[in-house]
Structures are given as structure tokens and as C-alpha cells.
Amino acid sequence: MTKPAGFDPLSVPESNSTSYPMPYAEQARKRWFRRLGDHAGLSHFGVNICRIEPGGRSSERHWHQEQDEFVYILEGEAVLVTDAGEEILRPGMCAGFPAGVANGHHFLNRAEHDLVFLVVGDRTPSEVATYPDIDMHGRTGPDGRMRFTRKDGSPF
């Protein structure tokens, strides 16, 4: 028997786990994900609802070599930081980050309320993430999770 395809996204558990090494892992503690694509059994692209508590950030500023990324703001006010500077995004606004474009980005929540947005990205098996502001480099491991080293390849 096939299970129903529809589900309430708020029924998917939130997690703030991260594979970032210290000290960057601590910066991610105010970021929460509901992994909707995983819950739906999707394998070619990921869909997540991301919630950032006040004072938090989505990630360290980064760009993807192989994967596209799309963000749609649902609630709150996002400060999008890119190589061009800062930009405010409000509910109904979106941003796209094409693979291979060296434009580091992340989202900050400087407001007093949670920031909530939808993130959609592909699941290319081999991925490299570049972090222009910090001494960190990411590469997808055989298990599909990002592995981090310093930019010279040395471990954390």
C-alpha cells in the first residue's frame, strides 16, 4: 500500500544539527531545519524550511561549485549578505544562487522575531563549497554529507 504524498510540513521534526567544525558549529546553533525533501523521499533535490532565531545566521558565507540554491522568504526579515553587500528580503521575496558563481552568501536575522524561509537545492553527488570569509573548505563525502577542512586541506 502506498502512503499518502501530502503532509503537514510542521509535522516534520526540526533539527539544528550541523556538520560544521568548531568554532563554526557554535555559530549555527540558532538555525533550525525541517527537512521536507527527506520526509517526502526525494533524492534529486532537497527542500528545507529553515528557521533562524533572532541574532542567528543561516550558515557561514559560502557559494556552491556544483549545486544551485533557491530561497523564498516566508516570515520575518532576512539580511542577505553577498559580495555586493547587504540587502533586506521580506516575506514573498526570493533569491537564487546558481552553481559555480563565486558570490558568497548567507542570511542573518537581526530582527526580534524568527526568520523563516524555504530552501531548495539540488543533490549533486560531488559538491565543493567555498567559504570566502573564513579558513574553511567543504567537499561532499561518500555518505553525501559535507566534510570540512581548512583551505590548505589540514583537518580541524
Give yes or no for residue 80 having a pLDDT over 90.
yes
Give yes or no for residue 2 having a pLDDT over 70.
no
The mean pLDDT of the chain is: 94
Residue 3 pLDDT:
67
For the segment 10-31, the average pLDDT, to the nearest whole number, is 94
Looking at the chain, the whole-number percentage of residues with pLDDT higher than 70 is 97
**List of residues 6+ apart from 111 with CB closer than 8 A:** 54, 76, 77
Kindly indicate the confidence band of residue 124, based on its pLDDT and cuts at 50, 70 and 90: confident
For the segment 115-121, the average pLDDT, to the nearest whole number, is 98
Kindly indicate the confidence band of residue 6, based on its pLDDT and cuts at 50, 70 and 90: very high
Residue 76 pLDDT:
98
How many residues in the chain? 156
3-state secondary structure 103-130: CCEEEECCCCCCEEEEEEEECCCCCEEE
Give yes or no for residue 151 having a pLDDT over 90.
yes
Instruction: Please give the full DSSP string across 9-74, using - where no structure is assigned.
Output: GGGSPEE----PPTTHHHHTTTEEEEEHHHHTT-SSEEEEEEEE-TT-BSSSSBEESS--EEEEEE
Give yes or no for residue 27 having a pLDDT over 90.
no
Q: Which of 1-5, 67-71, 107-111 has the lowest mean pLDDT?
A: 1-5
Q: What is the domain partition of the chain in residue ranges? A: 20-149
Give yes or no for residue 79 having a pLDDT over 80.
yes
Tell me the CATH number of domain 20-149, given options 2.60.120.10, 3.40.50.10300, 2.40.10.170, 3.90.226.10. 2.60.120.10
Q: Which residues of 3-31 are buried (b: 16+ CB within 10 A; e: fewer)?
A: eeeeeeeeebeeeeebebeeebeebbebb
Residue 1 pLDDT:
58
Residue 153 pLDDT:
94
Give yes or no for residue 66 having a pLDDT over 70.
yes
* DSSP helix/strand/coil, 149: strand
